């Protein structure tokens, strides 16, 4: 397996990252555990998940992949062998079952992170990412997108909130997932 270091960190990750978005919907817990065993045995140390998984998102399976990873980590007692990444869900259509306010306020970040850590049965994440931007952007499946520029730039507050979780030891590094180019 080839490895690289996440830029500007000391976190060494396999160049292959194991995605988990189908566990709990298309794949069972046993299948998820088997996939993680297979990956780890072959040197894959990087596992990605998100609070919104499994997909397609729905209230019955929301958080299921994190729970499956959590039971695997608890069963194998191997948290130190895994680089674990998860994501907080940003504003998306039809995901209000996750949180009333799908934003990146300190309260929403704390709620999402606390629940993810509980499901994952760990006290920290190596990488915690914002999943989709808060501002209006074109998303999958939308034709004839019209940009609405009504968004107050709050990135400094979001970064301050995330930094507080880094200082608490709940997050090692922060990141951004599914961002788009500006209009």
Average pLDDT over residues 77-105: 89
Any idea where the domains of the chain sit in the sequence? 3-177
- At the second CATH level, the architecture of 3-177 is Alpha-Beta Barrel (3.20)
pLDDT confidence of residue 183 = 47
Average pLDDT over residues 8-23: 96
**pLDDT tens profile 22-49:** 999 999 999 999 999 999 999 999 999 9
pTM over the 0.75 mark? yes
pLDDT confidence of residue 30 = 98
Catalytic sites, residue numbers: 53
Q: Which two tokens stand for residue 65?
A: 């992949």
* Contact by Cβ (8 Å): 64, 120: no
Residue 145 banded pLDDT, cuts 50, 70, 90 = low
pLDDT confidence of residue 138 = 61
Which residues does 130 contact at the CB level (< 8 Å), separation at least 6? 87, 88, 90, 104, 158, 174, 175, 176, 177
**pLDDT tens profile 157-167:** 999 999 999 99
Q: To the nearest whole number, what is the mean pLDDT of the chain? A: 90
């Amino acid at each position: 397996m080839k490895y690289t270091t996440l830029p500007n960190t000391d976190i060494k990750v396999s160049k292959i990252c194991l995605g988990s978005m189908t566990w709990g919907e298309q794949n069972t817990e046993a299948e998820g555990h088997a996939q993680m065993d297979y990956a780890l045995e072959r040197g894959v140390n990087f596992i990605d998940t998100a609070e919104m998984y499994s997909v397609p998102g729905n209230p019955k399976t929301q958080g299921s992949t994190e729970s499956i990873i959590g039971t695997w980590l608890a069963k194998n007692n191997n948290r130190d062998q895994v680089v674990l990444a998860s994501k907080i869900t940003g504003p998306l259509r039809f995901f209000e079952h996750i949180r009333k306010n799908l934003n990146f306020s300190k309260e929403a970040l704390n709620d999402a992170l606390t629940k993810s850590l509980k499901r994952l049965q760990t006290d920290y994440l190596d990488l915690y990412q914002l999943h989709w931007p808060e501002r209006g952007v074109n998303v999958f499946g939308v034709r004839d997108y019209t940009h609405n520029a009504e968004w107050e730039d709050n990135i400094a507050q979001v970064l301050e909130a995330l930094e507080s979780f880094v200082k608490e030891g709940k997050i090692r590094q922060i990141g951004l997932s599914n961002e788009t180019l500006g209009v």
